[in-house]
Amino acid sequence: MEEKNKSESEKVLGIFDVSNVKVEDPGLKRYINLEPKLLVKTHGKARQRFEKARVHLLERLANILAVPGHRGKKHKIITKHATGKYNKNMKILIEALKIIEEKTGENPVQVLVKAIENAAPHDEITTIEYGGARYPQAVDTSPYRRLSLALRHIVHGGYDKAFNKKTTIAEGLAQEIILAYQNSPESFAIQKKTESERQADAAR
C-alpha cells in the first residue's frame, strides 16, 4: 500500500510518472515546473510579473490551447470553441500524451520536455531606431521567453495539422510534439526556431 501511495505521489494528474523526467537545457531548467500534482490548476492566481514561471508545464500548455482568435493576419485558426474550457483542454492534452506514449513507447512528459528544448529559439531579432531609421538587431532570447515561444509554436503546429483535416486536435498536437522531439524539419515549431535564428544571424 505504501509503495502504491509513493508511486502515485510521483505522478502528475495521477497518470504520468515524472520522477525520472530530466530537463537537460540549463536555461530552461528553472522555468519548467514538473511538480507531481493530481490537479494542475492555479485558478488564475498567477497574475504577478514572471509568475507564469511557477505554473505547471502541462497547465501552461493547456492554457495556450484555449487562446482564442487567429494567428498572424490570416484569420486561419479559430479556437474560440475551447476558450475557458479547462476540462476540455486538459482532456485534449491527456489524450495527446497517451498517443505519444503509444507511438514512441517512452515517457510522454519526457518527450514533451525534449521537444520544448529542441523548439526553443536561442536568438531572435528586435528593431532599434537610430537617426530616424529602423534597423533589425539580433538579441539573445531569455529562457522565460524561449519556453513561452516553444509552447506557443507547438500548439500552433498542432492546430495546423488538425485544421480542416480528419486528424483530431489531440492527434495533431501529439504529431507536432513527436516531430519536435525528433528535431524534424517537418515540425512547425522547429521551422519557426530555425527561421528566427537565421534572421538573427543575418542581423548581426
Are residues 162 and 171 in contact, defined by beta-carbon separation less than 8 angstroms? yes
Three-state DSSP class for residue 12: strand
Look at phi and psi of residue 131 and say left if phi exceeds 0, alpha if psi is from -120 to 50, else beta. Answer: left
Return the percentage of the chain with pLDDT > 90, whole number. Answer: 50
CA dihedral (134, 138, 140, 146) positive or negative? positive
pLDDT the model gives residue 147: 94
pLDDT the model gives residue 44: 66
pLDDT higher than 60, residue 176: yes
Beta strands 11-12 and 16-17: pairing type?
antiparallel
Q: How far is CA 83 from CA 55, 61, 156, 164, in A?
A: 19, 13, 15, 19
Least confident segment among 38-47, 94-103, 155-164 = 38-47
CA dihedral (53, 93, 66, 196) positive or negative? positive
Looking at this protein, which amino acid is placed at residue 177? I
Mean pLDDT value across residues 181-185: 94
Mean pLDDT value across residues 156-163: 87
Highest mean pLDDT among 11-20, 57-66, 95-104: 95-104
* pLDDT per residue as tens digits for the range 48-58: 777 777 888 99
pLDDT the model gives residue 188: 94
pLDDT higher than 50, residue 2: no
Mean pLDDT value across residues 108-129: 94
Confidence of residue 182 (pLDDT cuts 50, 70, 90): very high
Looking at this protein, which amino acid is placed at residue 9? S
Confidence of residue 10 (pLDDT cuts 50, 70, 90): confident
Q: How far is CA 118 from CA 113, 154, 192, in A?
A: 9, 11, 11
Are residues 118 and 108 in contact, defined by beta-carbon separation less than 8 angstroms? no
Strand partners, 138: 125
Confidence of residue 67 (pLDDT cuts 50, 70, 90): confident
CATH of domain 2-202: 1.10.455.10
Q: Which residues of 143-161 are buried (b: 16+ CB within 10 A; e: fewer)?
A: beebbbbbbbbbbbbbbbb
